[in-house]
Structure 1
């Protein structure tokens, strides 16, 4: 065999031999995260109204704190907390339709922009007053104001937050978003709000899309479609917020001589691309449904991995100020959402 023909073969063997140790290193943790997502999906299907994402992060927290996940699962869990989460965010874009948002009039996009901008600014201001570390405060601000764990992931990759800051923000998003599922319908009933106003308020205030769906189920009637549409208008704000933060990080990095991050993370561009596809193309309902199922599974995989990194003792020890910030952020977003719902609904 000629030398030129043998060279590519040797190159392929060398690549394969170098990949095997890496795959062996990440396989246990990735397998655990996938198994956790399967179990969480089963829990969600058995218990109506339960979010697979909530079940996944709860299972991850339990597994990580009772010693079910040995140290050698760490590399795979770290990978599972990043890659599936980003892929899930990309697929989330296919659930958005710009014409559908436009059909609701100017009020809904304006409300989404007001909730996100006011929520982020107010949360950062409270974070400074509480002496919460700036990156931690930013993750909480974006997670509570935009779209929960997906926003935390989008911002984390831009500002280069550490794992504990990311896990803390995700845990708080899950905790407070879950508390809002029974709380918002009760408060709406006490205030005598109509179904439409309550649905807009839920979409404008609750953190995760899955949590909005759960709240809408408690509200009843035709709340689901309106609440989810309003929520997706907030999700759409992830791209401009990530771009603004990326621009600031690039500017600061250039001033300090550090390597500058990309203006917009690649997965956020993928998210925007699928928003455009879903808006201009006639995507079959079956494709959208399949993408949503895969998106939920990918996010559940990431939530299990992130939950496995939560150390309850550490969270309790350093999370007091972050917990207070989460309360303030929830109240700020909820107040703006309610005021906007009374105006536009």
Structure 2
């Protein structure tokens, strides 16, 4: 089978190659991450939806981010747990492509939401008098639709290009989920077009969004440091602190995962896989913790809800 080419009906997911004997430990961490993701983000959604005082652009973006985090983690965590707990490694060709679509789609939406939130902070701090007239529900709706369409349009061709591959060398994916390049590298034909398009999508989404976020924050910091009083500067910075923590976590892990997978040939394979897993699971787990602890309005409402029950 490995010495000939074929077109597979299914793939076999290895999990974390090189750490097969540690699957019980790995599954424990994945399960804990997934529980925290669901619990933390659902609390955020409930608190924001139940509090009329939080029906503002920043918190609307945060609720969309929380929903996206739940969907992103759900696209990989259940299948990973099936691999680790039940040795259920098989995944059909079409299911693999569907999982790949959801992973890259929700990752693209995640990056776009971080950009939208940076724009919201830029308007709030650099154009405070115009904030209400600019950040309207109509603009928020357009932002969300644009991000969904962008993610679908960019990710769709990835699946089409894979479906057009005529033959594969093996159907064993050295990964814990259907990652794009992990599947493409199995092909028995020239994959330069697939690889080039994957790079194009990565640089368009992650690279483009990160560039505009950094540009937004350069202007925000310029405005903050020009404020006359220390208290004003501190207040303005504190409103940005949660978002800075969130986008740094997401993009640092994304860049490390991307670079190690493509260029870190001397890095052990299990490091590649762990970085890829953490890139998709750690930010969704940390986002509600960061916003819950650093955002006064959310923290107060969560504490109030807990105190009312006890």
TM-score category (smaller protein): 0.3 to 0.5
Q: TM-score, normalising length from structure 2? A: 0.34
User: Which protein, 1 or 2, shows the higher relative CO under an 8 Å CA cutoff with sep ≥ 6?
Assistant: 1
Higher helix share: 1
Q: TM-score, normalising length from structure 1? A: 0.31
